[in-house]
Amino acid sequence: MTIRNILTEPNPFLRQKSVKVENVDDNIRSLMDDMLDTMYAAPGIGLAAIQIGVPKRVIVIDLSRDGEKKNPQFFVNPEIIINSDTKASYEEGCLSVPGQFAEISRPDKCKIKFLNYNGDEKILETEGLFATCIQHEMDHLEGILFIDYLSKLKKSMILKKLSKNKKSLERIIV
Ligand code: GNR
Ligand code: NI
């Protein structure tokens, strides 16, 4: 179990499409363990493998609150079966877009099919924050970030801030 470095925008890696996992083996389970540690350390409620530089269709999510029992959930090759027509909007953030938040509207319920930690096929109906989070993570598998849903102006303002922060960080490190 290792805490890995999280890639941040702008980084062309984050725009890559992740590939399907052929077999949920010990290598994939080890990746999921590292992702969970990385997500808890950040801290965040979800993480896609591409965020630690691995372009595979793997997601971890834990929506348990502080002080509650941890509830890690693993999703390999997730597919949306049905999205609701009704939308809900949540203030989203992303570990790959640090310090930036915006209201994003998405279907408020979605039914997904995926493989779990053991490679068993599961179907799950999600709503509320869970539905938002799984859709946010599934976007990462396609190289999409929540800022892509914003107006050109808002998006460019965020990207400008991120580049500025990255440059000042580099100055501190160098
Ligand atoms: O930690 C996270 N919080 C969050 C809040 C609202 C909507 C989505 C998220 S996911 C984010 C972690 C992350 O970047 N996952 O890719
Ligand atoms: Ni994210």
Ordered DSSP codes for 25-76: -HHHHHHHHHHHHHHHHTT-SEEEGGGGT--BSEEEE--PPTTSPP--EEEE
Find, among 6, 57, 3, the residue nearest to 33 by Cα.
3
Give the pLDDT score at 174.
64
Which residues of the chain, if any, have pLDDT below 70? 173-174
Q: Ligand 1, atom 5: nearest CA belongs to which residue?
A: 92
The closest-lying atom of ligand 1 relative to the alpha carbon of residue 95 is 14
**Ligand 1 shell residues, CB under 6 Å:** 44-48, 51, 90, 92-96, 132-133, 136-137, 140
- The residues, any chain, with a CB within 8 Å of residue 110's CB and separated by 6 or more, are 80, 81, 82, 83, 84, 125, 126, 131, 134, 135
Please tell me the distance from the alpha carbon of residue 127 to that of residue 147, in angstroms, as a whole number.
22
Catalytic residue positions? 137
Q: Which bound ligand lies closest to the C-alpha atom of 130? A: 1
Burial readout 161-173 (b: 16 or more C-beta within 10 A, e: otherwise)? ebeeeeeeeeeee
The closest-lying atom of ligand 1 relative to the alpha carbon of residue 97 is 14
Which of 38, 45, 135, 138 for mutating ligand 1's site (highest number of atoms within 8 Å of CB)? 45
CATH architecture of the region 12-170:
Alpha-Beta Complex (3.90)
User: Are 110 and 84 within 8 A, CB to CB?
Assistant: yes
Give the pLDDT score at 158.
96
Give the pLDDT score at 168.
84
Give the pLDDT score at 170.
80
pTM recorded for the entire structure: 0.96
CB-count exposure of residue 55 (10 Å: 0-12, 13-18, 19+): middle
Q: Ligand 1, atom 6: nearest CA belongs to which residue?
A: 92
User: How far does residue 50's CA lie from ligand 2's centre (Å)?
Assistant: 10
